[in-house]
A and B are shown apart, each in its own frame.
Chain A
Amino acid sequence: MMKKITFLFVLLLLAGGLAAQATLQVVTKTVQKTLAWKAGYSVEIICEKAEVEVEPLPAGNNKVLVKAEMSARHPQLDSAKYDLEAWKFVTSTVGKKIYIRAYVGLPAGRALPNSNLKAKITLQVPMSCPVTLTNKFGKARLEHLAGAIRLSGEFCAFTLLDLQGGVNISSQYGNVDGRQLAGKVDLQTKRSAISLTGIRGDCNVHSEYGTVAVEAGSQTGNLYIQSNKGDVTVETGSLPRHNVYLQATYGELKVPSSQHFESGSSGNTRQATLHQGAGRPQVTVETTFGKITVQ
């Protein structure tokens, strides 16, 4: 009997311990700022472990609103509170650039935080304001903006919706999902999956170790995709308006039989061409160790 009671007691202790382990104390510091903005000013966001959202303010608002929620998560409340102090949030205006920084800054000699650190940064900017963003470990969502957008990320997924001022992205280990993008689109990615639809301008993609899926629609300009060790899918629709040139080295080519592609091969390289007429925009896809599919 005594053994049974001891066993039950141990089980209860274990269960309690597990439950305690599964609950995290989350200490969140929220900072809100309003920054003055003038035409010609741009915003540069430099952060890490952050989920960033950038959206436009209603017309006529010459300011930038920033809300940063920085948190530390740890089973022990004291540890979470202590680690929260590692978060630094700084804004400054230098010349015509508004800098917004959220980073983990440790004084010399202080140990790395044990807590899981996260930040959520929400920005509202004038629609025409150009935005530059650098983030590591997190995600970023930008929508309905008309200024030039420049993004750089590692382990940061980008979601872009209705951007009219051109987009330049450099990403490693972070997927890119873009819809309704006007202006020039430039992507340089590594180990990232890319999905682009509703492109209304020229588009260049350089990808390594990642899949690329791009829609070449009626408003899409010249499209150039170069992929190394990754499959590429181009969706042209049933009535393609582009001239197409495909080249796969050490890879397959798959084109719809309904479209009159001219195919050929030399050595380990396969080519296919679709000529619709002079003056039309061009789709060029080149892969190495990757399959090209046109659908």
Chain B
Amino acid sequence: MNELNKNTLVAAISRLPVYEPPGQMWGSLDAALEANSRLAEIVRQLPTQQPPADIWQHIQEKLPPARPRTRRLSMWSRYAVAAMIAFLFGAWWLLRPGTVAQEQVVITQEKMDSEVTAAIQENDDVAFEQVQHLCSTGAPVCTQPEFLTLKSELDELTAAKEELHTALGQYGDDPQLAAQLVQIELARTQLLQEMIQMI
């Protein structure tokens, strides 16, 4: 490869500063090399020791029993082992406490109980709205403490009725909740009668 700016490069290199090592550097390097060669000489002069013959017997006794030589598994065998491990793990995962053991979805048909749904979906009587309207127009009776107590009770029951209605929805036909709704309606009616007598 041709150097395009060879002259510039040579000129730049020639301008680089030149450093000399300190004078004592060679002395310390020489001393280190001398120490290494002396250490190697000392090691060569060390006596050679042989272990007693029965030491191998003791070592062998303490070693764990030798494993039988493992055979290298083929690719398919490895897959089979992996699948088996995955299956066992999956089975443990499903059966361990606290884990879903079973989950299933079933579709069936049911007939709606028309009588119950009719009771649930019955419209509110107009008189209830009239009482609300009366108080929104500021009728004097609505300032009477006794009337206010009754109205507060009525409002509470109306809220409960609406809550129950929402919970049952359009297709709710639970007889027990429907009976509860009827009870609320009876209590509301009784309150309404008491309030009307005061108007």
Residues of A within 8 A of B (CB): 21-36, 49, 63, 73-75, 77, 80, 84, 91, 93, 113-118, 136-137, 139, 155, 157, 173-174, 191, 209
Contact = CB atoms under 8 A, between A and B. Distances in A.
Nearest to B157: A191
Contact of B112 (A24, A33, A80, A84): A24
A13 B98 CA distance: 52
Interface string B90-118: 00000001111111111111111010000
B98 to A, nearest CB: 5
A117 B177 CA distance: 13
Contact of B103 (A30, A137, A173): A30
Contacts of B163: 155
7 contacts: A23-B111, A24-B110, A27-B106, A28-B106, A29-B105, A30-B106, A114-B169
- The main secondary structure of chain B at its interface with chain A is mixed
Contacts of B131: none
Given A117-B169, A155-B163, 15 more contacts: A24-B112, A26-B110, A28-B106, A29-B105, A30-B102, A33-B98, A34-B99, A34-B101, A36-B97, A36-B98, A80-B107, A115-B169, A116-B168, A191-B160, A209-B187
Given A23-B111, A26-B110, A77-B107, A31 B171 contact: no
Interface of B: 97-112, 114, 160, 163-164, 167-174, 176-177, 180, 183-184, 187
B109 A26 contact: yes
Nearest to B95: A34
A52 to B, nearest CB: 13
A24 B113 CA distance: 10
Contacts of B106: 27-28, 30
A27 B110 contact: no
A34 to B, nearest CB: 5
A221 B169 CA distance: 44
A24 B109 contact: yes
Contacts of B172: 116
A268 to B, nearest CB: 16
Contact of B100 (A31, A93, A157): A31
Contacts of A91: 98
B187 A29 contact: no
Contacts of B98: 33-36, 91, 93
A110 B171 CA distance: 20
A32 B102 contact: yes
B105 to A, nearest CB: 5
B77 to A, nearest CB: 35
Contact of B171 (A28, A74, A191, A209): A74
B160 to A, nearest CB: 6
A195 to B, nearest CB: 15
A116 to B, nearest CB: 4
